[in-house]
Structure 1
Amino acid sequence: MHIVVPSSSNTFQKSWIASGRILFLIAISGLGAIGLVVLSALWAGTESDAAALDRQRQLVNARLREQVDQVAHVIGQFGNGYLARVYPASRSAGVSSSLDTVLTGAAGSAISETAMSAFGYDQAFVVDDKAQLSMLTDAKTEKRYRWMKPLFLPLLKDSRLTASQSPTFTDRMPSSLESRRASAVRPNHALANLMRLEGRPTIVGIVAINEAPEGQPQPTRQFLIVVRFLDGAALDELSRQQGLNGARFARTADADENEVAFQIDATANGEPIGFIVWRPDLPGSRVIGRLMPALSIAALVIAVLFSVLLVRLRSSLGELKRSELHARQLALHDVLTDLPNRALFAMRFEECLAETRYSTERSAVALLDLDRFKAVNDTFGHAAGDELIRMAAERIRSVLRPGDTLARLGGDEFALLLRDIRDDDQVLLSICDAIVAELGRPFPLLRGEAVARVGGSIGLTIVPDAGRTADDLMRYADVALYEAKMGGRGQWRVYSPSMDGGRNARDILKNELREVLAKGTASSADSAQTGSGSTRPDFGSLEVYYQTVHRAEGGYAASGAEALVRWRHSQRGLLTPASFIPAAEEGGLIDALGFWVLREACKAACKWPVETFVAVNVSPAQLRRPNFAEEVFTVLEETGLPPSRLELELTESSLIEDNSDVYTVLKTLRSRGIQISLDDFGTGFSCLSHLVRFDIDRIKIDRSFVSQLGAKANGAAIIGAIVTLSRNLGISTTAEGVETEYQRDFLTALGCTDLQGYFFSKPVPLRELDCFAKSEGGAGPRTIASGAIA
C-alpha cells in the first residue's frame, strides 16, 4: 500500500520506528526458533510421505501392467488352443467346407460364452476384420456392441495382429507416474490395450481365431475381442492385494483432502481414462501430528508476549494514527466508493513509471467504463446510479490482487494500475476476463425493486512497452477502450499502434458501405420512376452465398442451405461478414443489410425442392425492432416462400438482452410456422431454459466440438449430451464444421439429424449450388454492380 505521510506526523513516525525495532527483534528471535523446528519436522514428514506414496503408485502401476499382460497371455493361449485343436477338428468333421463360415452364428456365440464363463471376462465378441459381429446375440448385446464398435476398429487395424515376425512383447512406460501405458503382443499375435469404454477403465484384448492351412486360400479373418472392466471386482481385488484403503474409480481427479489420485492412461494415444483414488498410508503425517501440540504451545507463548507489547504500543499511538488516516482518506479517496481518487492514482502511476525506468518490471494501466450507466441514471434516478457505482466498484475490487490499484476518476469511469505482470500477460487475461464477467451479471438496485444489466469495457496499455509518459499511456488506454466499445462492448482490448489508424479505417469502411447501400436505394428509386424495375433497394456489390445442410441418414441428401453474406470490395476483394458487419451495426445499416439478405434467400429458396429450407442469420439489433416480425411476413408474401421453409438463426446473446421483447417477437414468428434455430450452442451462455421458453426448433452444434472428435474424448461426450437433450425435447440438431468422413459417420451414430461443413460443400454462389441445380433451372445469384455479400 502506498502511503503519503504529512509533515506534522514526524513525531508519530519516529515513535513508531523505535517501538517497531524492539518488536521486530523479539518477533524474529521467537519466530525464527519455532520456524526452524517446524520446518524441520515438516520436511522430514513430507519426505517420508512422498516415499510411501511413490511406492504405492509404483505397485499400482505394476499391477495394472500385469493385468494387461495377463489378458494378452490368456487370450493368446485361448487363440492357440482353438487354432490347434477346435478349428482343425471342425474341419476334419466336415462341419463346413468354407473357412469363412466356421466361426459364424452359433459357433461364434459359443466362443464368446466360453471366454466369459471360463476366463471371467465381462464381455466377449467374435467379429470379422471389418468389425462386424460373427456370432448370434440378443438385441441388447448387439446394441451395446454398436456403441463400442468405433473404438474397436483401430485395434483391428493394428499391424501387430497380422505381423509375421517372431513373437514380441512391448512395454514402454514413461518415467513420470502421471503418464502410464501398457500393451502386449503375444506369440499368436494377441493384443491387449487399456482404454475407456462406456466411460469406464477397460482392458480390451483381441486375438485372431482362424487361419488358412498351408497351401489353402486365406479366409475372412475373424477375431475374438474380450472386455474386462477395471472399476468393479477387478478394482476391489487390486485394493486388497496392494492395501489401498477405500480405493475407488473416478472420471476426474476429485480426490478429497486425505486421498490421492492415480491417473490411468489409454495405451493407444496416452489419453487420460480416469483415476484410481484411495486413502494413502502416510507415516510422516502421523509423526507431524504428534509434534504439533508441543509446537503450538510454544508458538502460543511467543504470540502472547508479542501481543502484550503490541497492545501497549498501539494504545498510546492509536488516536494519532486514526487522525492521520482520516486526513489521508479525505484527501486521496473517493467519498462514494472509498476508492483512490484521481490524485492518488496519478501519484501511484508516476511512482510506477519512475520504478520501471530502472527495472525490468512490466505493469499495465487500464481505463474502464460501464457500458449502459447513463440509461440506469435516466431510468431509475441518481440514487440508483450511485448504488450501481458502489456495487460495480466492489465487484471489480473483489477480483484484483492485493498490490493492484483501482481508482474512480469520476462518473462511471474507473482506472486500474496492475503491477508485476511478468508471467507473459496471463495475469492480465485472468483479471480482465473476471472483471468483464462480474460487470456482466445483473445488478439488483433499490432494494430489489429494479434490476440493471450494464456490462463494462476495458482498454489497457503495457508499461513501458507502449510509452513512458503518463499522458501517452493514458491516451493509449483511451484508444484501446474505444476499440473495445466499438467491438461490441462487454470486452477488453490491449493497445497496439495499429489502433491509432484503426478508428479512421473503420470510419472509411462504414462510409463506403453506406455509399453502396445508398447507391442501391437511389437506383431502385430511379427504376420506380421510369417504371422499368422493382422498387426494392439495389445494394450494388452484395451477393448471397449458400452452404448446404444434409440429412444425417438416407444417403445424406441436402435438406436445405444456410445463407451467408459477402461484399466484393473494388479494392479489398471479397470480404467476409467479420470485416464489415461491425461497421454496419455501428452505422445503423444492419437492418437494411439483413433484410436484403433475407429477401434474396427467400427468393432463391422458392426454386428449390419443396421439402428443403433456407436458414438466415438474424442479428440482436434486428430482433429488437418492434416491427421485425411484420417485416419478415412481408418478405415471405413478396417472394411466395411458405413460412415453414424459412429458418431464422439466432445467437444466445440475442436471448439474453431484453428477453421479454424478444420472446414476444419469436412467439409471433412461430405462430406463422417460421422455424427458429439456436446457433453455436454450447459456446455462449447456454441457458437450458431458453430451449423451452423460446420454443427452439433446432440446435446447431458448434464446430469447435466437432473438431475434437477423434482427438479428445470430451468432444464426443459434449455432443452426445447435446443430442440426448435435444432428442428428449423433440428438437432437431445440426452439427457444423463436418470436414471428414469419420466425423460424418460418428455424428450420424450419435443421433444428429443434420450435418453441415466443408466435407459436403463450401459456401458457394447460387449459380454453383449443384444439389439444387435441377430445381433452380440454372438461375444464378442476383448481384448488383460489382459486389457480393453472403
Structure 2
Amino acid sequence: MHIVRPSSSNTFQQSWIASGRILFLIAVSGLGAIGLVVLSALWAGTESDAAALDRQRQLVNARLREQVTQVAHVIGQFGNGYLARIHPASRAAGVSSSLDMVLTTATGSAISQTAMSAFGYDQAFVVDEQAHLLMMADAQTEKRYRWMKPLLLPLLQDARLEANQGAVSSERTPSSMESRLASAARPNRALANLMRLEGRPTIVGVVAINEAPQGQEQPTRQFLIVVRFIDGAALDELSRQQGLNGARFARTADADENEVAFQIDATSNGEPIGFIVWRPDLPGSRVIGRLMPALSIAALVIAVLFSVLLVRLRSSLGDLKKSELHARQLALHDVLTGLPNRAMFAMRFDECLADTQNSVERFAVALLDLDRFKAVNDTFGHAAGDELIRMAAERIRSVLRSDDTLARLGGDEFALLLRDIDDDQILPAICEAIVAELAKPFPLLKGEAVARVGGSIGVTIVPDAGRNADDIMRYADVALYEAKVGGRGQWRAYSPSMDGGRNARDILKNELREVLAKGAASLADGTQPDPIVKRPDFGSLEVYYQTIHRAENGYRASGAEALVRWRHSQRGLLTPASFIPVAEEGGLIDALGFWVLREACTAARNWPENSFVAVNVSPSQLRRPNFAEEVFTVLQETGLAPSRLELELTESSLIEDNSDVYTVLKSLRGRGVQISLDDFGTGYSCLSHLMRFDIDRIKIDRSFVSLLGTKANGAAIIGAIVALSRNLGISTTAEGVETEYQRDFLTALGCTDLQGYYFSRPAPLRELDCFRQPEDATGPRTIAPRAIA
C-alpha cells in the first residue's frame, strides 16, 4: 500500500550502501590519481632515456659514415697529388716497360709507407687491376694481403673507380706542364667502404694512382688500397668524441644489462659486421632515481591524508544521510498521522496521470472532511482533536486497497487516490465503507470522552471529468461541497450539473488547452505527433479567410483577413465568439494568436505579390515586449514580405498609455509591417491614437455600414470617418458589406477597400479561388501538423 511509510532502517541502509560506493569510488579515484602521477614520472623518464639513446645511436652512425667519407676524400686527394707530380715525371723520363715495373714496385712501397705514416692508416697496399700486389713487402705482409685479396677485389671492380682518362691528342705529345694541368683538372675518383677484414670492422679506401700509357690498347691500372681498423684506437677516439662510456667492439650483441649494442653494417651489401657496445647515458633514469624517494614519500603522505579525509567524509556523510532521511520524512509525510502530506499526494497524483495518459484505466480522486470536527476540538481540546485525526486515519486506511493512497492535506481534510476502478462497484463500496467507519463513535482521552463526527466525501472520476490536475481537484471540491450541502455523512461524485454554466465554460477551456497542447507536442518540421503519446481528441483549429476588395477597378481582391475556426469533434464548427473569450480567460490567447499568425503568413506567401493578409492581434499579445521579434521570426521562416502583413488591433489595446506597446508598434512599422485599427468608432476612439501610433488603416465597423439606407446619421458617420482618414492619408476598409447599394455608396464616399458577405464569406484556404496558385495545397490547415513556438 502506498500509504505505508517506508522502513527508516531499510532506507538508511540503502543510503549507507550508496554512500559507501561513492566513498569507494572516491578512494579508488584518489589512489588512481597518485598512481597516475608516479606512472607519468616513470613514463617521462623512460621517454627521455629512449630519446637520449636514439640520439647516441644516430651520432655513432653519423660519425662512422663521416669517417668513411673522410677516408675517401683523403686518399682521393693523395691520388690526385701523385698523378699531378710523380707519375708525369716518370713518363717524361721515357723509361722502358720493364724498368717501369721495377720503379713502380719500389714506388709502390714508398706510397704504402707514406699512406701509413702520414695519414695513420693501419695498412696500405699498391695493386693492379687484378689485385696483384705491386710493391715490395715482407712475407708477413704478403701473407696478410693474400687473406684480404678476395675481399678487396670487388672494390677494384666497382664502376665508381673509373678514372677520368681524358685521352691526349694523338697529333702531339703534351708537355710536362700540360700533363700536370690536365691531371689536376680531372679529379681522381676514390672509393671507401665499411666492411669486415680479419673479423674486425674496417674502413677500406681505394684510389687510382696512375694513368694508362699512350698507345696501349689494354692499359694497366694501379691502385692504392688503405685499411683502417675501427675497433682499436679509432674506437677509443670515437668513444671520447661521442661520450660512449666503456665502448668496445663485439661480434655478437652480447651487451650486459646496463649496456646497449649498436650494429655496424657493411656499406656494400648491408650485412652486419659486428656491434659497438657501450654503457649509455640515460638522463631520465638518473632523474627518476633522484626523484623516486621524494615521490614515494609524497605519495605515502597523500595516501594517509586521503584516508583520514575519507574517514571523516564517511562519518559526515552518514550524519548527512540521517538528517536527509529525517528531513524527507518531514517534507513528504504528515507528522501527526504518518500519512503522505499534500506534497507527496501531488507527486503521486502526477505519476498516476502520467501512467494512465495512454491507457483506458479509470481512477478517482476524492476529498474527505470530518463532520463536526471543530466542535470536538473546541469541546475536548486539541489533544482530543489530534487523537481523533489519528483514529480517523487508521479507520480510513483499513478499508483501502494496497494500491490506494491516503494523504492528509491539513486539519481534518484528507485526500484519496483510488486506482483501477473500472468495476463500477469498487468506488461506491470504498466510499460507503469509509462513511460507515467514520460514522462509528470515537472513544477519546482513554475512554473519558466519546465523539460522533462522521465524514463527507467528494469524488472526481478520471478521465470522465478530464485529465487536468487543477480541474480534477476543483471538481472533487465541488462534489465535497455538494455532499456537505446535501446533509453530510455521505459521498457525492462530481457531475457537470454541479457547476452549471461555469462548468461548461471550464470544460471548453480545458478542451482548447488540450488542442493547443497536442499542437505543441508535434514536431516543428511538420511531422505528426508521436502516436504513442495519445491525447483526447477534441478536434483541431483551422484558419478561414475572408477576402478584402479594392473599391475600384472592378473590385478585385487585394487581400484577405485570417479568421480562426475550431472544428470540435463533438460540437461541430465553432466561431471565434465561442472560444476566444475562453482562450483569453485561460491565458491561451497568445499561443492561439501566434499559431494563426504563422498559418496566415504561410498561406499568403503563395498569393500574388500585390496582395496582403490581415491577422487580428489581442491586447495580451501586443503587451509582450518580444512580440515584434516573434513576428519577424515568423516572416523570416515563411518568406512573406513584411509589407504584405497587416496586423489588426482593437481600440482597447491602445487605451493604456503604454510605452512598451508604442515601442512594439514602432518596431513593426519600421520593418514595413502594416497596422490597422479594427472596429473604429465602436470603442474608445481617440484621434491621438491615429497620430501617435501611426496607423495605416481604419476599419469601419459593420454596425455603421448596416445603417446605410435606413438612418441618415449612418451615412454621416461613415462620411466623417472617411474624410478624416483621407486628410490623414490613412486607408479605410468598410466591413459588413452585404448589398450592391452599400458597395456603391461606400465607394462613392471614398472608402479604399470593402469587405463583407456581398463579396465572399469566410472560407478555408482550399476554397479561396481568387488567390489559388497551381501548387497550392487542397486541404485545410490545422494545428496538429505544426508546433506552437
With the length of structure 2 as denominator, give the TM-score of the two structures. 0.35
With the length of structure 1 as denominator, give the TM-score of the two structures. 0.35
Q: Radius of gyration: which is bigger? A: 2
